[in-house]
Amino acid sequence: MTDLAKSGEYFDNDRGGYNKAHADAYNASKIEELIQITDRFFPNI
């Protein structure tokens, strides 16, 4: 599989290959919390 075919997947620089992202990256409540915090710091984006 080419790198282009893996577009959108997580590349783990520490391991030098594609892998699953940290479990928090799939946790809907943590994602929502991150968005809310980001919106407070950058309200005009």
- Structure tokens that stand for 11 in this block: 């590349």
Contact 18, 12 (CB under 8 A): yes
Q: What does residue 11 show for φ and ψ, rounded to 5 degrees?
A: -100, 120
The band of 42, judged by pLDDT with boundaries at 50, 70 and 90, is very high
pLDDT at 8: 79
Give the model confidence (pLDDT) of 10-27 as tens digits: 899 999 999 999 999 999
Closest CA to 8 of 24, 25, 23: 25
Run of H or E residues at 11 = strand 11-12
Domains of the chain, residue spans: 8-41
DSSP 18: E
